[in-house]
Amino acid sequence: MKVVSLCCANCGAPLSIKHKVRYVTCNFCDSRLEVHREKDTTYSTIVEAINERTKRLEQSVERLQLSNQLDRLDREWMMRQDEFMVTDKHGHKHRASTTGGAISLALGIAGCGFGFIALLGGMAPCLCFALPFSIALIANGIQLSTKADRYQQALAAYKRRRSDLLARIRVLEQSRPQ
């Protein structure tokens, strides 16, 4: 096989290539070179200099890291859903809602009011039944509202983080060389 000598157009290093090879990567600077043959000379031109290649490589690594972060964010968000769930009396799980919390709180307060009116009216047995039940409703209402609030805050943080990652991925995709 006939071997041809030429210099790297980027760093000037001597290169030996096989006859008829059209593209070569410099062993010294890693530039991608195109081989040109003329009557009595063979020379190279830079197809892609090392800094461009490195940049492209860094961008694809960064893009990969960002999409991994995005996947992890989505997975973690899915796994956190249980934190914001409440189990109703039928054993069904559903997300704590602010409305549910407010209703429970209102019923509890009304129940306490009823209990005190009953007490003042001398109906003690009614009070015994109504008070603990009403206090439980108030506690439940507070717990539901707190969970619902925490869910809204966590959701907002998750959405912010997600759109930030997506924006960074979009910037990388737009700057990707063709």
Report the interface residues with Zn ion, using CB under 5 A.
8, 10-11, 13, 26, 28-29, 31
3-state secondary structure 57-101: HHHHHHHHHHHHHHHHHHHHHHHHHHHHEEECCCCCEEECCHHHH
CB of 45 to Zn ion, least distance (A): 12
Strands (E), 50-139: 85-87, 93-95
CB of 42 to Zn ion, least distance (A): 15
Instruction: Kindly tell me which of 55 and 161 has the beta carbon lying closer to Zn ion.
Output: 55
Instruction: Kindly tell me which of 13 and 166 has the beta carbon lying closer to Zn ion.
Output: 13
CB of 26 to Zn ion, least distance (A): 3
What is the C-alpha separation between 74 and 150, in angstroms, rounded?
Answer: 18
Q: Which residue has the tokens 């059209």?
A: 22
CB of 52 to Zn ion, least distance (A): 13
Instruction: Kindly tell me which of 26 and 66 has the beta carbon lying closer to Zn ion.
Output: 26
Instruction: Kindly tell me which of 31 and 145 has the beta carbon lying closer to Zn ion.
Output: 31
What lies within 8 Å, CB to CB, of 38 at 6+ separation is none
